[in-house]
Amino acid sequence: MVSGNEATKNKGYDSQYYIAAVVEYHPNLGSNPLQSIQNNLPIYEDIIHHASQYDVDILVFPEAGLTGVTLPDNRKEIRKFLTEIPSPESNTIPCFTQYCSTVLNKLSCAARLHHMYVVVNLPEIEYCKTEEDDSCSEDLANYYNTNVVFNREGRIVARYRKFNLFGELGFNHTRTSELCTFDTDFGVRFGMFICFDILFQDPAARLIRETGVKDVIFSTAWFSEIPLLTADSVQAGWAYTNDVNLLAASYNAPSMGGGGSGIYAGREGPLVMFMPDRPGTQIILSRVLKRQYNNCEIQSKKCSIDTNYQTFMSDNLILPYGKEKSPPNRNRPSDFRSV
């Protein structure tokens, strides 16, 4: 007998396409980054739930969606909201691990409950192993802008630390860039980098050249500038030049030029893309043709969650959400822990 999860896995592996979703996310900001995490974490869980209704295989959240982009410059203040992230080699499932932070626990459980790969950006702390570690900061820890990937079991299967920081005072980058890849149960190997990395050979171009990946995850808090740095043109151009599938999820702040997300099929062009003209959260979905196949019908659609949580819409489809259900509880849980 084949279990339900096993059957799903085998079906996904044999399929010519996978279903991807990227989140253009407008955060609910608090008075400080820790409060912002507490505000946005239940919304992330809710978005994962809604994406599961479309049989999404992999869901990508943007850079800084949980914390907001305005962070303290002082390392002592930054330290208060950083999360220690286990290495993929540890095979950790935070849903079952007491020592992991609340945010890792909740996201791991959501990925496991809804049986999908989930990519989330978090500010990370790594404590130094010894005082003699010459790669360590003076306060005996390094702070990273990090993407973490949970598989369908809620297990951490990848961790990438941003190399090309855009300002981000108080944060560290790794001594050398990481070429981060991970394999999925639907037969696709993904590479991954964050925001400003896309403009540099190291790691973005090296990732394609040295690993051969054909599917790339791009979490970003992009602020468009004309004429050559608008989010959609950079994303589409990079995907076309490298002829790869690109899943791009952006932080939404249109009043500052922030936003622009999409799913791109290399030289076949955008499957679906979104440039915001107002604040709001969008869930952008598409069937993505695996690169080993050639001719396949590709379907895409765009969903949105409005800022007041009144409706959940997909083109001409409005699902009963918001009016029948209360918004997620944004009250701070008494046992919330950041590290």
Asked if the peptide bond before residue 320 counts as cis, ω within 30 degrees of 0, the response is no
Residues present in the chain in total: 339
Q: Three-state DSSP class for 318?
A: strand
Phi-psi region of 322 (alpha: psi -120 to 50; beta: other; left: phi over 0): left
Backbone phi and psi for residue 87, each to the nearest 5 degrees, phi listed first = -70, 150
**Is residue 162 annotated as part of the catalytic site, yes or no?**
yes
Backbone phi and psi for residue 121, each to the nearest 5 degrees, phi listed first = -100, 135
Q: What residues pair up with 58 in beta bridges, in sequence order?
A: 20, 117
**Is residue 323 annotated as part of the catalytic site, yes or no?**
no
Catalytic residue among 195, 214, 302, 303: 195
**Is residue 63 annotated as part of the catalytic site, yes or no?**
yes
Catalytic residue among 24, 63, 126, 168: 63
Measured from the Cβ of residue 130, the count of other Cβ atoms closer than 10 Å reads 8
Catalytic residue among 106, 162, 214, 302: 162
- Residue pair 144/122 in contact by the 8 Å Cβ criterion: no
Q: Secondary structure of the chain: what % helix, strand, coil (to 5)?
A: 25, 30, 45
Q: Three-state DSSP class for 83?
A: strand
Residues annotated as catalytic are: 63, 162, 195
